[in-house]
Amino acid sequence: MSLTANNSFFRNAPQHLRRMYAWRRLKIVGGFCAFWILLFTLTWQVAYWILVVRWLFIGFSCLTVFGIFEVWPRRLPRFIARWALQVFAVAVIVPIAVVLGYQLTTIGLNPPWWKDDQRLEGVFTFIFIAMLFGPWIAVAALLNQIKEQAQKQAMQFQLERSELARDALNAQLNLLQAQVQPHFLFNTLANVRELVVIGSPRAAMVLENLIAYLRASVPQISNEVGTLADEIERTRAYLEIMHMRMPDRLQFSFDVSPEATLLPCPPMSLLTMVENAVRHGIDPSEGGGRIDVAVHLYAGCVEVEVRDTGVGLQYSRQNNHLHEITPGLGSGIRNLQARLRMVFDESASVTLVDNQPHGTVAVMRWKA
């Protein structure tokens, strides 16, 4: 064994001492000694301090040996288990501690304790009791220590599992965000292209607004969570761009509760719903339509509603016209629902409801 390994016990002595004389161990040893001290007082004929010193000396000698062999030697041969070494050490120290205890408490007495039949009988009584209970207390302490280590390891595994799940969640969220960003950008650029193709004088103004919007928005898109105020501002800018593209076919309004603006919200979430309403509701409609955005708090839940008067969506009429999003509605909305549940919890939802007489209402809900 290397010198470094041999000296590790002494380098870490304060830590080992704190563990050796931990409060829990001191209580167990002190309680054991107190029990036998009280029992012996029934027949004890000399000074009681001698009885207290002897039992405490025996108990703390066992505790010290148990603690030393818990960490020393650092490495053991494979055929020797550390727990067995600790129990064996306790069994060996018992007679030694009893003899030393008697020797220290009988200094100056004549005859010496080993020539006094009564004291010699007391020595064997102490040895018998300590040998009978000491190793078993050591075994119980080891079993409890193994149980605590198993619980600690299980908690560590659970923590590592949670961290891995969080990392996987973040990776999946980043992937979904990466899908949403080009989805919005490409659709908007396609709208600008249409204006350029038809030679509209509004193309330059729309493009200028788009550049200003992207300059303000792109740095925030990569964040996992923003605020509803940020999302409303981006969505309003988007609708302004769409209104410039088709001023006679698109009208919009916002109804936002002030207390909801500072609440967390995944970036691009409201914008995805509005973009979906424009693309699938207003654009296909000959007469265009209106988009009304409402953000409110209801009973501790955030409710974000995007109501359009477009052509409506094709879906099966079930459950009072309320339906979970279906694959045919596009990747943007499906990704939005997945993102909400990642950022908040499984109770977060995105649903669609029929807007009478025509159009669609998309609703996001999550706990505030």
pLDDT digit string, tens, across residues 164-194: 766 665 665 555 555 545 655 676 677 778 7
Residue 3 has pLDDT above 50, yes or no: no
pLDDT (tens digit per residue) in 243-266: 877 888 999 999 999 999 999 988
Q: State what percent of residues in the chain have pLDDT above 70.
A: 81
208 and 155, same structural domain? no
Mean pLDDT confidence for 217-235:
74
Q: How many domains does the chain fold into? A: 2
| Domain interval for residue 360 | 200-367
104 and 243, same structural domain? no
3-state secondary structure the chain: CCHHHHHHHHHCHHHHHHHHCCHHHHHHHHHHHHHHHHHHCCCCCCCHHHHHHHHHHHHHHHHHHHHHHHHCCCCCCCCCCHHHHHHHHHHHHHHHHHHHHHHHHCCCCCCCHHHCHHHHHHHHHHHHHHHHHHHHHHHHHHHHHHHHHHHHHHHHHHHHHHHHHHHHHHHHHHHHHHHHHHHHHHHHHHHHHHHHHCCCCCHHHHHHHHHHHHHHHHHHHCCCCEEHHHHHHHHHHHHHHHHHHCCCCEEEEEEECHHHCCCEECCCHHHHHHHHHHHHHHCCCCCCEEEEEEEEEECCEEEEEEEECCCCCCCCCCCCCEEECCHHHCHHHHHHHHHHHHHCCCCCEEEEEECCCCCEEEEEEEEC
Q: State what percent of residues in the chain have pLDDT above 90.
A: 29
360 and 216, same structural domain? yes
Among residues 163, 192, 214, the one where a domain terminates is 163
Residue 63 has pLDDT above 50, yes or no: yes
Residue 173 lies in a domain: no
Among residues 145, 163, 181, the one where a domain terminates is 163
Residue 193 lies in a domain: no
218 and 131, same structural domain? no
331 and 214, same structural domain? yes
Residue 176 lies in a domain: no
Residue 75 lies in a domain: yes
Residue 306 has pLDDT above 90, yes or no: yes
Residue 64 has pLDDT above 70, yes or no: yes
93 and 22, same structural domain? yes
11-25, 100-114, 272-286: least confident range: 11-25
